[in-house]
Structure 1
Amino acid sequence: MEQLNAWLTDLLAGNEIFTANTLGYYAEGLATTVQLVSLSLLIGLVLAVPLAIGRGSKRPWIKWPIFFYAYVFRGTPLLIQLYIIYYGVVFVEGIQDTWLWLILEEPFYPALIAFTLNTAAYTTEIFHGAIKATARGEIEAARAYGMSRAKMMRRIILPSAFRRALPAYGNEVIFMLQASAIASVVTIMDLTGAARFVYARFYAPFEAFLFVAAIYLCLTFSIIYFFRHLEKRLLAHLKPQG
């Protein structure tokens, strides 16, 4: 108990673990984590919508390649995918002589590609299930109104599917935030990378990693609050009146 009190006293007093320099590392790691996660989620969402529509196609040459892609990326660990993309791109013949190498030699972009492909696979399945759950009556009403397939998808099916997919997609956003901690294994200075750096420099694992864990908790609760607020607004018509 005395050791705990001493540690809390040092923490609140501001020891060498929490100087302006180390807090700068944490701030840089936070910015990198937010950038990596937000970009991968945004690009993955843009990719997932047409993939989810194609996933429900009756044409095998459209449906099965999308199914295979989602199956592979959902059935293998994200860390393995990151390793394959980060280390495997070096062995692509001639790539180091192209303009792509100027981008891919930085570890941020291979990590962004791995995270984007992973979250796009999960989001594709989430939206595919939500699209399949569209009420038959809504589709028949749209057809009776004379809507084309594209207009029905844009005005009826996708908005309805998005509302149903919102809770599951919120969990996917939280999963991607927590999974982003593995980005530090390819030398990216994210939140976990900043904690590892501070730990290696000051030999203080508890302070470094507990501080980062608190930041992750704050980010997670912020995401939960945002999606719950969004669900209340979009699903307000399902609540019983009075």
Structure 2
Amino acid sequence: MSIWNDYVTLLTESGPDIWSGFKITLALLAGSLVVAFFLAIPLGIARSQTSGWASHAARVYSSIFRGTPLLVQIYLFYYGLSQFESVRDSFLWPVLGDSFYCGITVLALNLTAYMAEDIRAGILGVPHGEKEAAMAYGLSRFQCYRYIIVPRALGIVTPVLGNEVIAQLKATALVSTITVLDMTGVVRRLSANSFTIDALIVAGVVYALTTLLVSIIVKLIEHRNTRHLRR
């Protein structure tokens, strides 16, 4: 019973702080997802091409961000770029100089590389007959991608993109290393002050429940996107 009393006391005294940290976690997740999604679509289209400067540039971008640890990228952007006076004097400094916005930027750029590869796989998975039918119907290349290829590709890779969202939720915890008080940052401070892991356990439960909720939402989206197959 004393264990439950400890958790009740923790939630009563520190619940508002944990909730504030959780809202920051959600803001990091939502912000990076929106930016990454809109960047990943053109990058994924470029990656699906076999030649051209855009394809090579997209391949280099993907290799850099997928080939280095996210934590290293966060440190390089927040601590490394601040050493250059040209960066501090540029229009980028209001973003890179703020730990929260810098965290969102790095999370988004990293996620873009992974989502672009997923979208590329989806584009390559679209049946060739559908692409030919769209061209025969008189659609331009841009219209084919906008109305046929990209929507079909997103439907194909919906489960994979859902996994990326879950991975991104857990990746937001790394931003606490640059002084952002997300949920992980808050519970780490609480645990250090109380010399217990109770706050960390609470955070683990919240992350697990949020992951479950995301999984349910992805399943519903996947069910909606494949309704034509069930007919």
TM interval, short-chain normalised? over 0.9
Q: Is 1:181 aligned to residue 140 of structure 2?
A: no
Q: Take 2:36 and 2:57, find their aligned partners in 1: how far apart are those partners?
A: 17
Structure 2 counterpart of 1:167, one-letter code: P
Structure 2 counterpart of 1:8, one-letter code: W
The 5 A counterparts of 1:41-190 are: 41-190=33-182
Q: Take 2:150 and 2:95, find their aligned partners in 1: how far apart are those partners?
A: 34
Q: Which residue of structure 2 aligns with residue 19 of structure 1?
A: 12
Q: Is 1:6 aligned to residue 2 of structure 2?
A: yes
Q: Take 2:3 and 2:177, find their aligned partners in 1: how far apart are those partners?
A: 29
Q: How many residues align?
A: 231
State the 4+ residue runs in structure 1 displaced beyond 6 angstroms. Answer: none
Q: How far 1:91 moved relative to its partner?
A: 1.5
Structure 2 counterpart of 1:7, one-letter code: I
Residue pair 2:122, 2:157 contacting (<8 A) in 1 also: yes
Q: Take 2:69 and 2:215, find their aligned partners in 1: how far apart are those partners?
A: 24
| Structure 1: tracts of 5 or more residues without a match | none
Q: How far 1:116 moved relative to its partner?
A: 0.7
1:73-106 Cα deviation digits (max 9, x unpaired): 1111111111111111212223334454333222
Q: Pairwise CA RMSD of aligned residues?
A: 1.5
Seen in structure 2, the aligned counterparts of structure 1 residues 105 and 164 have a Cα distance that, compared at 3 Å, is same
2:203 pairs, out of 198, 212, 215, with 212
Q: How far 1:211 moved relative to its partner?
A: 0.2
Query: Structure 2 length as normaliser, TM-score?
Result: 0.94
Structure 2 counterpart of 1:18, one-letter code: L
| Structure 2: tracts of 5 or more residues without a match | none
Secondary structure class of the residue paired with 1:19: helix
Q: Percent identity?
A: 34
Q: Take 1:91 and 1:122, find their aligned partners in 2: how far apart are those partners?
A: 28
Residue pair 2:77, 2:96 contacting (<8 A) in 1 also: no
2:217 pairs, out of 205, 220, 226, with 226
Structure 2 counterpart of 1:238, one-letter code: L
